[in-house]
Amino acid sequence: MERARERRAQAGSLLTRPLLLLTFAAFASLFGFQLLLSVVPLYAERAGGGSAGAGLATAAFMLSTVLTQAQMPRILNRFGYRASLAGGLLLLGPPALLYAPSRSLPAILALTLLRGVGFGVVTVIFAALVVELAPPGRHGEALGLMGVALTLPTIFCNSLGLWLAEREGYWPVFLLGAAAPALGLAAAVGIPPVGPGKEREAPGFLSGLRRGPLLRILLLFSAVTLASGVVVTFLPLARPGTGPFSAAGALLAVGLASTAGRWWAGRFGDRRDPALLLAPGLALCAAGMAALPGPGPLLLGGALAFGAGFGLLQNATLMVVMRRVRPNERGLGSTLWNAAFDAGTGLGALSFGLVFSSLGFAGSFYLCAALVASALSLAYLDRHKAPAGD
């Protein structure tokens, strides 16, 4: 404990101006993203797309996100962090203003694809740049701070978006979803020009996927993000309303628990092996997912368990990935982790959008719980094959 305090003292202050600016930009970006995350699928469903249209809305966003993320090592190598971040924020925010006049499913999906490109850019940059700006020996805490900024919007934005859409209509939600990333752009201007080292051959996306120690973690995390995609897309359809035992109340509980879990996991990871959190995080997510179809109190308990496990795994898997890439490959590490996050989310929304009508609410969530539980085998395998010194 004393040695840990000494290392932190030698590393210097965590709350530097560049890191605070980056944290604010991340918060503003995710505010806009989370505000629309459950509203756009609902908007697509009511535009005539049905449950399949709702699933397509989330899947389209995540598809363009992942395709963009796959190109991020090259983009960062060419343009650097600041220019790429500015472009990503412009694509993520302002196009949301065009949802209101777009009342057909194809138009909604086209806008969603465009916003997904922006999201793919900014998510990779936040995870990579926070490690670049963090003091040595405090990467876990810096990732925890960034995790709070990225997950705080999940505490209230999903619920706020649904509440605003129900009470005031969709236009105020789209306006806020456009304005928040614009504020993040103002903060991003003050971030110093720290950038990835330019190499003749930047590590490619596929080359990272071919590394077994990375692929195991990415597959494990994808199982959980698949379940997350099902929760954010279909819980508002299955449990409509804004009361405590509705989708809005459950999503609020998920946000609270995931924020706390992500912060705690960052502090734990600086002191001990973050891989120790993989199995407990999966167990919490699986149990929470299985409880979500239950009556009101069980719904909230399941939301808290799922959120806590999800928060633990978000930080733990990111720390493990960053430890398994070289220092000049942090952009690649961030790309792979974010692609696993968003591919899983999109796959969950798309696949369960196709089977939701036949399996029903309870059956779909029980199947998700089983898929998450099956990922425990990957945690076990990784524990026995982890690289030496990891």
- pLDDT at position 63 is 86
3 state DSSP class of 241: coil
Does this model's pTM top 0.85? no
Q: Is residue 198 part of a domain?
A: no
In 3D, which of 351, 261, 272 has the Cα closest to residue 306? 261
Report the distance separating Cα 281 and Cα 292, nearest Å. Answer: 17
Q: What is the pLDDT of residue 56?
A: 85
Amino acid at 295: P
Q: Is residue 7 part of a domain?
A: no
Residue 193, CA atoms < 13 Å, CB-side half-sphere: 3
Tell me the pLDDT of the chain (390 aa) as tens digits. 444 444 444 455 667 788 888 989 999 999 999 899 889 988 988 887 777 788 888 888 988 988 898 888 788 888 888 889 999 999 999 999 999 888 888 999 999 999 999 999 998 888 778 877 777 667 777 777 787 888 788 777 877 888 898 888 899 999 999 999 999 988 888 887 765 544 445 567 777 788 888 999 999 999 999 999 888 888 887 787 666 778 878 888 898 898 889 888 888 877 788 999 999 999 999 999 999 988 888 999 999 999 999 999 998 999 899 888 887 777 788 888 888 888 888 888 888 877 777 888 888 899 999 999 999 999 999 888 766 555
Are 20 and 144 in contact by the 8 Å Cβ rule? The answer is no
**pLDDT score, position 150:** 81
* Residue 60 near residue 116, CB atoms below 8 Å: yes
Residue 5 lies in a domain: no
SS3 40: helix
Structure tokens given for 364? 């779909």
CATH number for the domain that contains residue 152: 1.20.1250.20
CA distances, 48 to each of 123, 159, 169 (Å): 31, 23, 17
Tokens read off for 21? 């600016």
Distance in angstroms (rounded) separating the CA atoms of residues 371 and 96: 33
Q: How many domains does the chain have?
A: 1
Distance of CA 177 to the CA centre of its chain: 17
Structure token pair of residue 228: 């997350």
Q: Does residue 70 fall inside a structural domain?
A: yes
Q: Is residue 11 included in any domain, yes or no?
A: no
Domain contains 10: no
Phi, psi of 249 (to 5 degrees): -65, -40
In the block, tokens 């694809």 appear at 113
- Is the residue at 390 inside a domain? no
Structural domain of 230? 18-190+203-385
Residue-level pLDDT at 10 = 43
Residue the block writes with tokens 């819980």: 235
In a domain, 33, yes or no: yes
Write the CA distances from 336 to 123, 194, 205, 236, integer angstroms.
Answer: 11, 21, 7, 29
